[in-house]
Structures are given as structure tokens and as C-alpha cells.
Amino acid sequence: MAETFDLILKNGTLVNHDGRITADIGVRDERIASIGNLSQADGGDVIDLKGLHVLPGVIDTQVHFREPGMEWKEDLETGSECAVLGGVTGVFEMPNTKPTTTDEAALADKVSRATNRMHCDFAFYVGASEHNVDILADLERQPGACGVKVFMGSSTGSLLMADDDALRRVLNTISRRAAFHSEDEFRLRDRRPLAELGNVHSHPVWRDDVAAIQSTERLVRLAEETRKRVHVLHISTAQEMKILAAHRDLMSVETTPQHLTLAAPECYDTLGTLAQMNPPIRDAAHREGIWWGLTNGIVDVLGSDHAPHTLEEKEKTYPASPSGMPGVQTLVPIMLDHVHQGRLTLERFVDLMCHGPNRLFGLADKGRLAAGYHADFTVVDLKASREITNDWSASKSGWTPFAGQTVTGWPKGTIIRGRKVMWEDEIIGPAGGQPMRFQETL
């Protein structure tokens, strides 16, 4: 009697721990049940993927979906629409909302808002503040929590833990890997007069490379002192890569497609305040230093730092213009174009955007193409050439910094727990997002 599956993906090129293989995948009860030759099996749904590549579901470990409190910029529903249209099956969302995600009620509220309303699966960071250090050990273990986020330098929102004593208290309290926005607040305050009115080119002058380097050096010292795992977000300097390469026992590293793709001063010439983010886009020498870190295995994951603002907000005169740009929908196309250009292999793409989140954060059943894991797949066409446009963006912000760029490599479909949620730029069926599970908190 033929084996039966709920879904069979046929003839695709799978990219997993075996490298690239042509094989079928059988899905049963939302999980991968079999990988191999399933030509004799029956499936409730059968999708022929000849000519396409099947990746583990891409996970974006840094997004800001702005809900609650700033829903005019984005909300959990529209942000997740961006995600699945871009081939992203799961996201880690940040705590600098209004109110901030700094207590159990705020976290539970986000999980409730997201369940069966977001189109992708999700987890939420809890924010560290001066007022909640004593409860962080409990907060980081709540359902739907991916860990603690700490802002060492002020950015969007009110969360800030600037001095070493405060940071030490956080690290001594928690047990999971914590994520850090690493810019030195004291240097940012001293250099604030260097942010020239109406001149966004001064953004990386005010928030200079030294502010990032000093902060990350402090963070390394504190991690070694407390023996705690630290994840440094959106690295923007070449020097930080060298520093972190020497401390791989406790430190893990994220960078963004923006810092790998854009460079100053050209990005500010062409995009103005649309290129403004924290930490800033810097010159080509720093960009090459970040690529050095990626090529040499120092970068563990890529995050989009999807941080949308409306065009009206971005058109304010610098420095009143807010920092941040949308990115979750363009994460996969931009990085697949780098694969096409030979800057990284498709296997390294999978390591950064699927295996990396699984490995660093201990995802219980996501991030690998393996039997028993959730049937999450990002199906891509490596030969498709498309122009990224503002019209394609599903974000409430209505724009992307990559508008007008033609890329080679495009997400064909997004499948989450065995259900097709996006196919050929169309979202399919009702939202069914669920909280992710983590091995440390099962």
C-alpha cells in the first residue's frame, strides 16, 4: 500500500545538511515526515517544484512591527504580510513598542494579538529596562519569548540601559542569549551637536564608528565577566568584526542586508533620510569589513531590522527624521542577488537565515530540512529576475530603500507548517501564525 502524506513537494532541489540534493519531501501533520524518492507515495496535495530550490523556512531574527502603539507605521498583520511575501516563515519582533514589552502582561498581549492574525510564525523579545531587571529571568522564559533585548544606545523608543552597572545586572539575572543594540550612549550624547540640521550625511559622523566599537568592546568585557551569551545586532563597522572574531566563545553576530549592500556617501546622496538608520550605513571600507566577517564565518545570522516609518515622517528635516527602514520583504531577494553575484553561496545563505537562528536561539522545531521538524519552506527561483518596487511592498510605510533595483533570485512560495501561505506574490488563505517554541523553555 502506498504511503500517504498531506503534502508532497516533488522534484525540487533541496538545500540542507546534505548540501544540494534533488529529492521529494513528504509532509504529515504539519511536520516533515520523509525526504527522498516519493514517486510511489500519495499526497493530499502535490506540488511539482522542478527547477526551483527548496530552503528551510527563512527566519528573520530582527523586526519592528510597531504594534501596539504605532500602528500607523505597521502592525503585526501587515508586517507579517511583508514577511511571507518575501519568503520569510518566522520572525523575532522587538520590544520598543508603546507600551514597551517589559512585563508579562505586555508579552502575553502581543502573543494574543499575533496568534492566528499574523501570517507567519513569531516570537517576541522582552525589553530590559531600569525597572524590570528583577523579573527578566522569568520574562525570558514565558511562552512566545525569544530572549531579552537591550538598547545600549538610544534609538526608536524609550528603552535604554547605558551604563555598565545596569548591563551587568541584566547579564547576571538572565540565562538565555541576550541581544544588544551596541552603540555607546555617552559618546552619542557628547557628539549630538555634530548632527547638522538638514544634512543627513552627518548621521554617521554623529553616530560614528567609535561609538559602535567602544560599546562592543564594553559588551565583550561584560560578557566575559559574567560568562553570559551575548548577541550583537546589526554590526556596522569593520573593526567590530575583528573584535568579535577574537571572542567567539560567548559572542554571536548579526548584520543586515542594508549594511552589506548600501554605502555612504552614495546612499545619502540618492536616498536622503530614507537611508537613515541606527547604527548608520557607513562607507564602503566598513561595508567590505562586514563582508569579510560574513565570508570568514563570524556573522551568525542576518536580520532585516525591518523598522518602518511613513514617508511623511521620513521627509522631516534631519535630525528630526526618524531612523529605520522597512526590510523584511526584501531580505530574501537582496541576499539571493548577492548569491547570484557570487558574494556568498546558497549554502551559506541557508546557514545564516535558517540554521543560524535554529543554532543560536535553540529553536525547537524550525530552521532545518529534516524529518520531525516543522514543514516550513522558502521556495525560491534562482533564475528569476525582478525589479523591486514600492508597489510590491505590503508595508504600511509604502516604500523600500531598494526600489528600482533589479535582482536575480526571487521567493516563489512560502510554506508554513505544511500550508501554502504565499505563492507567486499572492497571500493564500487566512492567517494562522503561531508562537515559536524554544528548547530552553519547553
Among 335, 361, 387, the domain boundary falls at 361
Give residue 155's pLDDT.
58
- What is the model's pLDDT at position 154? 63
What domain count does the chain have?
2
Is 438 part of a structural domain of the chain?
A: no
Query: Where does a domain end: 361, 387, 408?
Result: 361
Last residue of a domain, one of 340, 361, 382: 361
Of the candidates 299, 376, 294, 279, which has an alpha carbon nearest to the alpha carbon of residue 343? 294
Asked if residues 357 and 364 have their Cβ atoms less than 8 Å apart, the reply is no
By residue range, what is the domain housing residue 242?
A: 57-361
Distance between CA atoms of 270 and 32, rounded to whole angstroms?
45
> Which CATH number goes with the domain that contains 248?
3.20.20.140
- Could you report the average pLDDT of every consecutive run of 10 residues in the chain (442 residues)? 92 93 98 97 95 98 98 98 98 97 98 98 96 96 97 69 90 97 95 98 98 97 97 98 97 98 98 98 98 98 98 98 98 98 98 98 97 98 98 98 98 98 96 97 92
pLDDT of the residue at 272: 98
Question: Is residue 15 a part of any domain in this protein?
Answer: yes
Helical H segments across 72-190, by residue range: 76-85, 104-114, 136-139, 164-173, 185-190
Amino acid at 142: Q
Burial class (CB in 10 A: 0-12, 13-18, 19+), 113: middle
Q: State pTM to two decimals.
A: 0.97
Q: What per-residue confidence (pLDDT) applies to 291?
A: 98
Both 28 and 83 in one domain: the answer is no
Q: Tell whether 21 and 106 lie within a shared domain.
A: no
pLDDT of the residue at 2: 81
Give 98's DSSP letter: S
| Domain shared by 268 and 379, yes or no | no
pLDDT at 200: 98
Q: Do 91 and 134 sit in the same domain of this protein?
A: yes
- Tell me what pLDDT residue 17 has: 84
pLDDT at 156: 54
| Cβ-proximal residues to 49 (8 Å cutoff; 6+ apart), any chain | 9, 10, 11, 12, 379
Q: Do 125 and 50 share a domain, yes or no?
A: no
What is residue 53's predicted lDDT score, i.e. its pLDDT?
Answer: 98
Residues 49, 140 within the same domain: no
Let me know if residue 437 belongs to a domain. Answer: no
Q: Does residue 434 form part of some domain?
A: no
Kindly state whether residue 75 falls inside one of the protein's structural domains.
yes
- Alpha-carbon span 23 to 93, nearest angstrom: 34
- How far is residue 431's CA from residue 417's CA, in Å, rounded to a whole number? 12
Which residue in the list 24, 121, 184, 305 is annotated as catalytic?
A: 305
In-domain check, residue 199: yes
What pLDDT shows up at residue 160?
Answer: 79
Q: Does the annotation mark 305 as catalytic?
A: yes
Task: Find cell 541576550 and name the residue.
Answer: 178
Asked whether residue 172 falls in the same domain as residue 28, the answer is no
> What CATH number should be reported for the domain holding residue 374?
2.30.40.10
39 and 91 inside one domain: no
How many angstroms from the chain centroid is the CA of residue 328?
7
Residue 440 falls within a domain, yes or no?
no
The verdict on 37 and 145 lying in the same domain is: no
The reply to whether 338 falls in a domain is: yes
Q: What is the pLDDT of residue 65?
A: 98
Say yes or no: 154 and 182 in one domain: yes
386/329 same-domain check: no
Residues 81 and 205 grouped into a single domain: yes
Task: Provide the H-helix boundaries in 103-163.
Answer: 104-114, 136-139
Residue corresponding to grid cell 510511489 = 40
